[in-house]
Each structure stands twice: as structure tokens, then as C-alpha cells.
Amino acid sequence: MLPQSVTAACLSLLTLGAIAEDLREAWREVPMPAGIQVVLTELEGPVFADASGRTLYQWPQHKLRNGYSGEAPGVPACYDEVVTVTTGLMSPYPAGIPLPELDSRSSCADLWPPVLADEFAEPLGDWSLVERRDGTRQWAYDEQPLYTSVRDQEPGDTFGGSGRKVDGDSPAIRVPVGPPALLPPGFAVKTTSLGRMITTDRNYAVYALDGEGPGNILCRGACLDRWTPLLAPGLAIAQGDWTIVERAPGQRQWAFHGSPVYTHRLDTHPWSQQGSDEAGWRNVFTQHAPAPPQSFTEQATLAGTVLATAEGKTIYVYRCGEDSQDQLACDHPQDSQVYRLAICGGGDAQRCQERWPYVPAVPGTSGTSRSWRPQWIDPMTGRFTSADSPGAAFVWTYRDRPVYTYDLDRQAGDVHGAGIGEWRGKRNGLAAFWLRDDYMQGIE
């Protein structure tokens, strides 16, 4: 374990890199069927996985502007039929438009194999069994049917989906599912770009002050005008990384890794980092996200801090979910590229490279993690390729997808590409890689 002073949630990439290896999120033990295990992931904390280590996902029902998609509890909706037309969830466009590349289009079950149970399986705890149309039985957790993703290649991968916050303008995405985090009542944990952020159960950020510890409470008096100690009930007991310190006789405060925790009264929105601007104070994470490539920088914008290239150009990720009833993703190099090519270059791959260049990696560079690694891309097709393929480009990927810069960002801190694309960039477009947002309420 690193000293607490090093676990600061400051935005130094070097700091992030140093601690990413050391913090691991603890979870609450729950009964699991045979063949199911818990795997610790880089981005999503502990998740359930099958016997091969493949992450399990749910597809929760999600309210979009024009209707619902996803699965109702107990009702599988992901099958092996190929969906051929749009479903009209991309207002203002009507339903019934033929989807692209039908001759090679995958079915939902091709990309999301259901987690099937054998004939002897029995419900266990929050694990239940739902019947599919062909009579097979599928595992469900909290009544939501479970799947694996063909995008995941190694244990701990979560390339199929994310637990990041989404809103009604986003597709109905798949979400990794795992055991409950080992947290005292009144706390929660959320996946962010920096790591798994601890908050109150109302999503307000939790902070710690450098130098504080058991028997050494520094925030008293006027400090309490700005900071609220998170107090523990009289009968609360320590568990795991959580202990209790006594601020005063009979006044008990929760501590994480020995540091008493607080909320910041001036935080204006959930998942805030505003309190970390005050000297010595830091957000608290159960685990930190893997460090971005060493050459990357962070840049201040009008709305917060973004990840950027060495030259200061903002990094963007591409997001895409089809307007189909199965809401298949279209943001991965192995997915159809027609959506991305349309938005980035009007269908012209060369124009895409000029407008939204890939972020090149120095040949020979290795990745810092499964989440951040350079891969070979054919820029004309957008597909992964091999190093010896003509025109292949060695580019940085995040979550197995290339990242980009935007040609019209002229200076460090520009984020003119944020929100470009359908539905403010949420369903077929680009989002800036925010390390801190003070104005989007954690949505980005």
C-alpha cells in the first residue's frame, strides 16, 4: 500500500500512473453459481465473469427519447435473428429504414452470447434463471439476463460496455455487472475517467485531507464551514478498507484507508472534483484508472480538464449505437464503419484522417495497460490490421478503440469537437476525454 499522501486524486498523470497498480477495490462476498467468479478490472472494479474470465454484462432497459430499448427484468431480448431495419429511436428519422451492410451484419447473440446454465443449475441468492425462446436457460443477476461480449479477449477486459453514467440521448448500452462494493451504508462508488470514485449515496463526492488520520484530525473550527465530516453511527463497525476515527468523544467519523472522509459544501453537482482545488484535499477512489500514455498531457478548458496529446490537442473518443431494436454498438473497429466515416468525413476515409486524425504511437511503444495500448489500424477502412499491411498506422487505443484529435481545435484547451455527431455525439459522434468536468454533472 502506498502512503496516503500518494493516493491523492490530483490530476497529475504521473500520479495516476503510480497508484493505479496499488489500489484495488474490495467487494462484498455474495453467493455465486458454480463456474462464476469475480475478476478485478482496470476500469469497472470487480465484475462477475464466467469460468473463462469473460466479463458478464446486463442490458438494462433504457428510456430513450422515442421509446424504450434494452431488456425488462426477466425477459431476454437478445437473440440470433439479424435485425434489418431501424426502429425509429433516432428521432426525427422514421422507423423501417434498412440498416447498412446487411450481408455481413451480426445478430445480437453473435456479439453478446448469453450466459447459459446447465440442466442442473438452481437459483442462488440474487442469481436466477430465465428461459429463452428455444427453451434453454440463461443466468440472470438481479433478474437481468447475463451475456458476455465478443469484444473482450482477456480476463478483466470490459470492452463490451461500461458503467459510466449515460442519459436519455445515449443508446441502451450494456453494463458490466459485479458484486456490491464493500462500502458502509450511505456510500456509493461510480466509474469515472479517473477511476472508481467514492461518493455518498446521493452521488456527492467524498474527499480526504492530506495528513489526517486516526488521532490527528486537522479539519476543525472554520474548516467545518466548508467541509462536512461523514459521521458513522454509534454502532457502526469497521470493515475492509473502512475504519472509524473519533473526532471527539462520541463523535465517530468514517475513514477510508485511514483517512477521515468529508463532503465539500461548495460542490455544485454530483461527482464533483471542485473540492480538490483546496490545498491538501483530494477526491477518494477505491481504485484509479490506468495511466494514459506517458506522452499525453492534461489541458485546462472552459469546462474542466481534458486529456490531450503532447502538443496539447484534446483527445476524443468515438461513440456509436445503432438505431436498431438490439442497439448494437458501432464504435469498435470490428463494427460497421459506415457511421463513423459518415460523421468524420462524409464517407471519405481520407477526409476523416484530415478532420479527425488518429493519435499516432511511436513504433515499438507498448501499452501502459489493457485499456491504453497502441494497435495497428488501416486508416482507409478503420479496421485493425497487421504491422506489415500497406498503409498501416500504429495508433493509440482506449478500451480497444482508437482515439482521435480534431483538426479544428487550434490551441490547447479547445474542445470544439465535443458533441460533434448525432445526438450531441452520444449515438454517432465524438466526445472529449474529460478528466474533470465542472459543468456537465458527471454525464461526460
Partner 1 sequence: MRTSFRLLLGLVLAAPAMSYGQASTLRDGRIAYVMTDLFWSVYQTEDGCEECPRGFNDGPREQFEALFPNHAALDVTRTQLHQEVLTWLPDTEPDGFEFLEAEGPYAYGLNLDGEVSDNDFQHPDGTPGIDNQVYRAVACIIGFRGPDGVEYIFQNKAIIDEPYNRMMIELSDVDDLVNDDAVQVHLYRGRDELLKDATGEGALPGGTQRVDRRWGESLIRHTTGQIVDGVLITEPMPDMVMPWMNLRVPSIQLFRDARFRLDLTPTGARGLLAAYADVDTWYYQLIRNDSTHHLSNGQISGISLYRALRRLADAYPDPETGAPTAISTALDVKMTQVFVLDEPSAPTATAE
Q: Interface with partner 1 by CB under 8 A: which residues?
A: 65, 85-86, 90-94, 96-100, 102, 169, 209, 218-223, 226-227, 268, 277-281, 300-304, 323, 338-339, 342-343, 345-347, 413, 415-416, 418-425, 428, 432, 438-441, 443-444
Q: Which residues are CB-contacts of 283 (< 8 A; sequence separation ≥ 6)?
A: 9, 194, 197, 198, 205, 206, 207, 273, 275, 276
Residues 173, 225: contact at Cβ < 8 Å? no
| Min dist. Cβ of residue 2 to partner 1 (A) | 22
Other beta carbons within 10 angstroms of residue 308's beta carbon come to: 27
Please say which residue, 11 or 236, places its beta carbon nearer to partner 1: 11
Residues 291, 17: contact at Cβ < 8 Å? yes
| Min dist. Cβ of residue 162 to partner 1 (A) | 18
| Min dist. Cβ of residue 229 to partner 1 (A) | 13
Please say which residue, 290 or 425, places its beta carbon nearer to partner 1: 425
Q: Which residues are CB-contacts of 220 (< 8 A; sequence separation ≥ 6)?
A: none
Residues 8, 15: contact at Cβ < 8 Å? yes
| Min dist. Cβ of residue 220 to partner 1 (A) | 4
Please say which residue, 141 or 339, places its beta carbon nearer to partner 1: 339
| Min dist. Cβ of residue 16 to partner 1 (A) | 21
Please say which residue, 78 or 320, places its beta carbon nearer to partner 1: 320
| Min dist. Cβ of residue 178 to partner 1 (A) | 28
Cα angle at 43 between 266 and 237, to 5 degrees? 60
Cα angle at 293 between 289 and 298, to 5 degrees? 80
295 phi/psi in degrees, rounded to 5 = -75, -15
Please say which residue, 28 or 220, places its beta carbon nearer to partner 1: 220
Please say which residue, 150 or 342, places its beta carbon nearer to partner 1: 342
**123, amino acid identity:** P
